Amino acid sequence: MAAKYFGTDGIRGRVGVAPITPDFVMRLGYAAGKVLAKARDGVARPTVLIGKDTRISGYMLEAALEAGFAAAGVDVMLAGPVPTPAVAYLTRALRLSAGVVISASHNPFHDNGIKFFSASGNKLPDAVEADIEAALEQPMDCVPSEKLGKARRLDDAQGRYIEFCKSTFPNALDLYGMTIVVDCAHGAAYNIAPHVFHELGAEVITIGNKPNGLNINEACGATAPQALSDSVRANRADLGIALDGDADRLLMVDASGRIYNGDELLYLMVKDRLATGPVDGAVGTLMTNMALQVAFKKMGVPFERAKVGDRYVLEVLQEKGWLLGGEGSGHLLCLDKHTTGDGIVSALQVLSALKRSGQSLAQMTADIKLFPQSLVNVKIPAGYDWKSNAALQAEKLAVEESLGDRGRVLLRPSGTEPLIRVMVEAEDADLARSMAQRIADKVL
């Protein structure tokens, strides 16, 4: 199995992106269990919730984690297939010691990963991560038999989470009269998301809801929204909702089949909040379209950019004390509704905005037009110090001065390949392409 560790809220420094084997996962569970048990200091036995998506490897990794925790004297509750944000919510609601998700999110079935949540439903504190990393270096042992951890299944995990999602939608509103297509990406929300929207009154048509362990994210969901677009048009539906494999991403489709990405949905949510009161600020990433930055400035809403990744958006939101943020990929955060990105909850915020305004997606986003983006990938030799390339930096500065408030430039290295990514945004597509190539020509 070509399983990998992708958890951006997990054991970053020690593990990074590394092969996952049952042995490693069992040791990870044991190390985490020992750290959690030490933190409780004998006051109470720690209990950890384990959730997973629909990948075939989840069965094996779930058993390995359970064994590791049990060996460390930690009890386990098994939630089965549930979205990543469901584990964050249930961990907090049930007052558990931690939550663990087995999922590689939007990646194909042959990958997998592990993500940890703290008792508060947030990422683990850095100090706890460091302790788990250190514990991984120690040999695995086992507590005495009378202190072994126990496991039980949380039979109502899905129902509890469905009710939580519905609670984030205004009591005075409903979805009666709406036909919504929901694409579950054959993932963790396949038996949850349709119920949420149906119980709020919508007629729901579900696609991507037949997981077989191998088809998660395959030509469906938020990473391949054309299937949703086609289904919305074919069924003459009002809207479409696309989630990814662990249901923390959201893209939406209107009745015409037009796809709305995370940047546009973030803009819509900020606009909706402004209609009822002030918005302290919003957070995007280095890749957030410049049109949002321009629009938020006109609206008087402060805007900050974080590094790419929802964990970094969350960090800036918490630092600023703001509530709304997200990425173009569809990770959206509403911190007055949930502690983490949640595709279903985000969809409900968009739907409530549409209901309150009486407008469509197209109407609510008519006053923002995303800037065309041009991306050029340039291969570089291993170890190449592109930041010290004076000609490159001079060209970047010249392009930025030329664009002014009409565009921007972003240079960043690939995290997995020997590439420099040159991205230019501009009001005109041809201008973006020409400027991106100008800079790319100076990389080497």
Cα distance between residue 145 and residue 115, in whole Å: 28
E strands, 22-130, in order = 47-52, 75-81, 98-102, 114-118
Q: Do 187 and 243 touch, CB atoms closer than 8 A?
A: yes
Q: Which residues pair with 409 in a beta bridge?
A: 424
281: left (phi over 0), alpha (psi -120 to 50) or beta: left
Of 85, 79, 54, 84, nearest in space to 65 by CA: 79
Q: Alpha-carbon torsion 103, 107, 112, 118, what sign? A: negative
Give the 3-state secondary structure of residue 263: helix
Residue 115 neighbours by CB under 8 Å, 6+ apart: 7, 8, 9, 10, 84, 100, 101, 103
Cα distance between residue 177 and residue 113, in whole Å: 40
Token pair recorded at residue 100: 């663990």
Residue 198 neighbours by CB under 8 Å, 6+ apart: 204
Give the active site residues: 105
Of 402, 403, 393, nearest in space to 426 by CA: 403
Which helix (H) or strand (E) segment holds residue 15: the answer is helix 12-15
Q: Do 288 and 327 touch, CB atoms closer than 8 A?
A: yes
Cα distance between residue 392 and residue 397, in whole Å: 9
Cα distance between residue 378 and residue 107, in whole Å: 24
Of 70, 78, 116, nearest in space to 97 by CA: 116
Cα distance between residue 93 and residue 85, in whole Å: 12
Of 284, 275, 295, nearest in space to 370 by CA: 295
Q: Which residues pair with 284 in a beta bridge?
A: 305
Q: Do 183 and 243 touch, CB atoms closer than 8 A?
A: yes
Token pair recorded at residue 293: 């930055």
Cα distance between residue 336 and residue 170, in whole Å: 13
Residue with tokens 């209901």: 355
